Amino acid sequence: MERRYNFNAGPSALPQDVLSHAQSELLNYQQQGMSIMEFSHRSKEYQRIHDGANELLRELLEIPDDYEVLFLQGGASLQFSMIPMNFLHQGYMANYLLTGSWSQKALTEAKKIGEAYIGGSSKEADFKRIPDLNALKYGENDAYVHLTSNNTIHGTQWKSFPQRKESTFIADMSSDILSRSLPIDQFGLIYAGAQKNLGPAGVTVVILKKDLLSEIPDNLPTMLDYRTHVDKKSLYNTPPSFAIYMLSLVLEWTKKKGGLKEIEKMNAEKTKLLYTTIDGSKGFYSGTAEADSRSSMNVTFTLPSKELEDLFLKEAEEEGFVGLKGHRSVGGCRASIYNAVPLNSVQALSDFMHTFHHKHNI
């Protein structure tokens, strides 16, 4: 079977080596006569996978010892509620930095729990850029400051993160975790749905500084209390075992590729190729994000007319390209070039864009 060029925003491409490995073990995991999906989550076989994924993620991201790593369910969307439930207390306010739809959704959920305000936003610029670090506002009663590191819909990304020793920063890194080196110790909590760079949908990674656990109130529902999952090492209830197994394979693949240093180089090469194609088209393709805020994961662009965009997407699909339609809320086109998207796929897209440009230049 010929593989298609997968540029889906999520669930997104997985490394072909990982898929092949999983396929080889699907019916008979390590000659145990069972699929990994059939093992008890209390078994020694699954425990090795669970612990190995935790250790490898710590190694690749250089997570300090004073942080917990959790494997939860519910996606980033559940974290929108869990975070204020655990850390937004009476007399304090949550500070949200708005850069797109997902940070807006996180703010909406926080306001259902307690008081929250906007400390910075690029909404007035249609979320085409990241807010100026020097223009961000903070309050003395901030419970935490929340940001979304990469914005899949609008194609923007924080290139450097705000720092303030008085503030606890929390970040939704669902769409760019594991794509570049990260200053973990600048954050109190990082969370990420797996379905972009970490693995398939179904597991959510939470990286939590241990000293925040003492701030959690005692009246929370058991499953919504981070301490529950810390105490039970993410095994309070049945975990998404197959998703964590796949996560472990993706982490092994990342390590074999040379870790974050090499992954970041590979992503930079893909990003440069695609943005050069857009910028060199003399306006036929127009990037929607401002140059200094462009995402290295989600490349968003438009064509001169809706008719040409529709034709571009139609012909692209006929050539084997998948997932190039922009989010329904903004339209246009989007190529998500996560870690697992190989350079040859991006080169093929660039070649197709050049060909389409020459055929339909106006």
Q: What is the CATH number of the domain that holds 289?
A: 3.90.1150.10
Residue 62 lies in a domain: yes
Pairing of strands 150-151, 156-157: antiparallel
- Residues of the binding site for pyridoxal 5'-phosphate: 76-77, 102, 152, 172, 195, 237-238
Residue 157 lies in a domain: yes
Q: Which pLDDT value is given to residue 362?
A: 63
Any bridge partners for residue 97, and if so which? 120
Q: Report which of 6, 60, 54 is spatially closest to residue 180, judged by C-alpha positions.
A: 60
Last residue of a domain, one of 233, 256, 279: 256
Last residue of a domain, one of 224, 239, 256: 256
Question: Tokens 């990241």 label which residue?
Answer: 130
pTM of the model: 0.97
Question: Tokens 């949200």 label which residue?
Answer: 96
Residues 54 and 31 in one domain: yes
Provide the residue range defining the domain that includes 202. 16-256
List active site positions: 102, 172, 196
The answer to whether residues 210 and 191 touch, using CB atoms and an 8 Å cutoff, is no
Sequence-separated (6 or more) residues with CB below 8 Å from residue 172:
76, 79, 102, 103, 106, 146, 147, 148, 149, 191, 192
- Residues of the binding site for L-glutamate: 42
Any bridge partners for residue 197, and if so which? none
Residue 52 belongs to what H/E stretch?
Answer: helix 44-61
Residue 2 lies in a domain: no
Number of domains in the chain: 2
Q: Which pLDDT value is given to residue 1?
A: 62
Mean pLDDT per 10-residue section of the chain, whose length is 362 residues: 92 97 97 96 97 98 98 98 98 98 98 98 97 97 98 98 97 98 97 98 98 97 98 98 98 98 98 98 97 98 97 98 96 98 98 97 72
Residues 165 and 307 in one domain: no
The phi, psi pair for 228, rounded to 5°, reads -55, -45
Query: Hey, how many other C-beta atoms are within 10 angstroms of the C-beta on 60?
Result: 17
Any bridge partners for residue 204, and if so which? 72, 193
The answer to whether residues 203 and 194 touch, using CB atoms and an 8 Å cutoff, is yes
Residues 220 and 293 in one domain: no
